[in-house]
Amino acid sequence: MKHLVTVLFICIYSSTFSSVTTEKEFRPTFTESKKTTHKIPTGQDYTFGYLEVLENRDKPDGNRIKLPIYIFKSRSKNPKPDPILYTVGGPGYTSMRASKYMEYYKYLDDRDFILFEQRGTQYAKPSLDCPEWSKAVYQSNLPNSDATNPDSLFQQAATACKERLEKSGIDLNSYTTNQIAADINDLMKALGIEEYNLLTLSYSTKIGQVLIRDYPDKIRSVVMDSPLPLEVNYDEESVNNLLASVDKLLADCETDTDCNHAFPNLKKRFFTYLEDKTRNPLLVKVENPENGKLETFYLQGADLINVFSSASTGSVPNIPFEINKLLNNDLSSVEKQLQYLFREPGGGMGMGMRLSVWCAEEYPFNSQERIAQETTRYTAVKGLSPAVFDHQVCKIWSVKKVADMENQAVRSDIPVLLISGEYDELTPAKWADSMTKNLTNSYHLVFTGWKHGPTTHWSNSCAMQAANDFFNNPTEKPKPSCFEQITGPEFKTE
């Protein structure tokens, strides 16, 4: 069960390449298409098509890849001339799902909005899916999995996926943040756009940093929601960041009169409980919906801390209540989560792209000694590795290490708005704070009581409003009235 938290916290069709070009100089093109990735609601004006670029820019006669692009027309009769380009995180997530929900995006009130699919993700051609990986995740979390060496499942999956993708002619070294940034720059040229704004989220904030470093000329302003600095070694810090975020939330419960009265001394009791279950795992029996049999899980602190890590901003007020249930041996929520593990795995959408990015850009700069230390340092979650991928998996994937500059801070005076959630354990607010030193024309907004991805918190669009205000006036820190009204969570107590 040691992979349970990783599975819950981490967020493709087979395709062939288009024919290779024989031209000495390749020029990226955008071609409109009537067939879209999703059905767009009636009334939304848009153009859809594919950007065609080289898979490897050093091989002008090599494979071409196609990236789906939506250009949504502004609702304004007089839209501003500089559109917004948006691409999501992961790495490996598709941006195309957002195409169905443009009516909720405030940005279209003022500008056109370009939705960009990164190379290797679900609707790109080719898409680097790894169903082998999804199967390994599924098998590793079942009660009858080989607890003595679960990592072998993932090593076997990486081997099988790599061999299959390379056999189809895919160059796994070409799926990096640097190449994605070059794709976006090529799109701007192909569309004839002179100036644009960037909206990035989580992993794609790395794409934004590369763009303002390497292709700054056309960029008017940038919003980085939940930023991941290039210079941060993510794997070395992730467990510490998780525990710090839990500590912060439970400390806030203790300073809240109602929460502290309902759940006194909750922080100490919870961490003591996690330590105890790490030594003496919690036995939970869950009915397997496939055969009706009771399956037995043994959960340690590394598994049970996902009471926090699996929560979204909307469920933050419930976290102390859910922790208290656990401490009182009410396992109803735990049992419900475990039920999901019996579902058949998906297709591993974008996992090959995720592996290429991580193993080329994060793994080479991490200290394996530090990761080993972090895995055993914290008694409450002992055994929980901070690494997204085991080092053996990246050795199997064997992509080339990127240049050292891809692990160094970017300096720029382009206007940047950094947005963080106070309880974000994935990309903590301290990282965005550190970025303001090198982004000399930047502002930082921290949303009290929120978690990862504030601009996608759909029940409260304040962060989206702040981002749109910034795009309209990037020379000032946005101050939407809604921001002052956010005072933190009202914790559920009964």
Mean pLDDT of the chain: 93
Burial call 222-257: b when 16+ CB within 10 Å, e when fewer: bbbbbbbbbbbbbbbbbbebbbebbeebbebbbebe
This prediction has a pTM of 0.94
Enumerate domains of the chain plus CATH numbers: 4-8+241-339 (no CATH), 15-129+169-232+409-484 (3.40.50.1820), 131-166+346-373+385-404 (no CATH)
Q: Which tens digit of pLDDT belongs to each residue from 231-288?
A: 999 999 999 999 999 999 999 999 999 999 999 999 999 999 999 999 999 999 999 8
- What confidence tens digit (pLDDT) does each residue in 303-344 have? 999 999 999 999 999 999 999 999 999 999 999 999 888 887
Q: What is the pLDDT of residues 468-493, one digit of tens each?
A: 999 999 999 999 999 999 999 999 99
* pLDDT band, very low/low/confident/very high, at 216 (cuts 50, 70, 90): very high
When pLDDT is cut at 50, 70 and 90, the band that residue 13 belongs to is very low
How many CA within 13 A on the CB side of residue 292?
0
Q: What is the mean predicted confidence (pLDDT) over 23-35?
A: 89
Q: CA-CA distance, 100 to 469, in Å (whole number)? A: 23
Q: What digits encode the pLDDT tens for the residues 44-103?
A: 999 999 999 999 999 999 999 999 999 999 999 999 999 999 999 999 999 999 999 999
Q: At a CB cut-off of 8 Å and minimum separation 6, what does 280 contact? A: none
* CA gap 469, 109 in Å, rounded: 11
Main-chain dihedrals φ then ψ at residue 438, nearest 5 degrees: -100, -20
Tokens of 161: 């996926």
Given a cut of 80, whether residue 148 has pLDDT beyond it is no
The yes-or-no verdict on residue 289 having pLDDT over 90 is no
Contacts of 412 (CB under 8 A, 6+ apart): 212, 213, 216, 438, 439, 440, 441
Residue 12's pLDDT is 30
How confident is residue 419, by pLDDT bands cut at 50, 70 and 90? very high
pLDDT interval class at 19 (50, 70, 90): very low
Task: Compute the average pLDDT of residues 449-458.
Answer: 97
Asked if residue 7 lies in contact with residue 385, where contact means CB atoms within 8 angstroms, the answer is no
Q: Give the DSSP H/E element, type plus range, for residue 284.
A: strand 282-287
pLDDT reading at 404 higher than 50: yes
Contacts of 16 (CB under 8 A, 6+ apart): 126, 168
**Could you give the C-alpha distances from 320 to 259, 376, 454, in angstroms and in order?**
8, 26, 21
